[in-house]
A and B are shown apart, each in its own frame.
Chain A
């Protein structure tokens, strides 16, 4: 049976990412995830949270909330911010066929999230972005 949601809100800043990692790792341990999976979960969270820290509040301050519910073998994770509307599922994938000189420096974070998690869902509700995923999910890559 799934546990009730645990929630943590912190300023949407890069410096908050490690605290969110520690927070979610408690749920990952409760769900029985192994160490390689915990690193992948850290990576997915970092990519989502760094995007929010850099773009959601467009230079202003704001919070981001991470919530998780643990069940045997997996976690349901939801990330919420009140910044500008942004659906990462709509972002154009970077062109991975370009050579070194032409390869854009950014855009790889969302690609990693999509590839690792397999399925993500986004909704805009009450002026908030809500991004949720199950980890590991049906499409999660194995080690």
Chain B
């Protein structure tokens, strides 16, 4: 898994690519923690190049979203496709997050 962060005025886009599993999901937690501790309230997870996510990855998305909601912020998801999209749909997480096609669309909604 690779996480690339890009800072915008209102949000940080975290482009997550590769495979997010039990062994590495903690890296996403740390990345979110870093930006939230710097005062950012909106994070956008761009999953267009994510091939695989297991329930440990879902826990990380859920935990970050709950943390951001508690400070009146949000975790937005974009680029959902393939297996990650199916996993979000099977667990009904797709109804809990604001979901956009692309990161620019998510940014424009803020």
List chain A residues, Cβ under 8 A from B56.
50, 109
Whether B90 and A112, one on each chain, are in contact in the complex, defined by CB atoms closer than 8 angstroms, is: yes
Q: Does B91 contact A (CB under 8 A)?
A: yes
Give the A interface residue count (CB, 8 A): 28
Q: Does B105 contact A (CB under 8 A)?
A: no
Whether A108 and B55, one on each chain, are in contact in the complex, defined by CB atoms closer than 8 angstroms, is: yes
Whether A39 and B52, one on each chain, are in contact in the complex, defined by CB atoms closer than 8 angstroms, is: yes
Whether A112 and B83, one on each chain, are in contact in the complex, defined by CB atoms closer than 8 angstroms, is: no
Whether A14 and B22, one on each chain, are in contact in the complex, defined by CB atoms closer than 8 angstroms, is: yes
List chain B residues, Cβ under 8 A from A103.
62, 66, 96
List chain B residues, Cβ under 8 A from A50.
22, 54-56
Interface range on chain B (Cβ under 8 Å from partner) = 20 to 34
A111 to B92, CA, bound (A): 11
CB < 8 Å neighbour of B87 from A18, A43, A99: A43
With both chains docked as a complex, state the minimum distance between the C-beta of A1 and any C-beta of chain B, in angstroms: 31
Q: Does A106 contact B (CB under 8 A)?
A: yes
With both chains docked as a complex, state the minimum distance between the C-beta of B42 and any C-beta of chain A, in angstroms: 15
Q: Does B9 contact A (CB under 8 A)?
A: no
Given A36-B82, A46-B22: A96 and B91 within 8 A (CB)?
Answer: yes
CB < 8 Å neighbour of A39 from B51, B58, B63, B70: B51
- Give the B-binding residues of A (Cβ under 8 A): 14-15, 17-18, 36, 39-40, 42-43, 46-47, 50, 96-97, 99-101, 103, 105-106, 108-109, 111-112, 115-116, 141, 143
- 3 closest A-B pairs by beta carbon, nearest first, are A109-B55, A96-B92, A108-B55
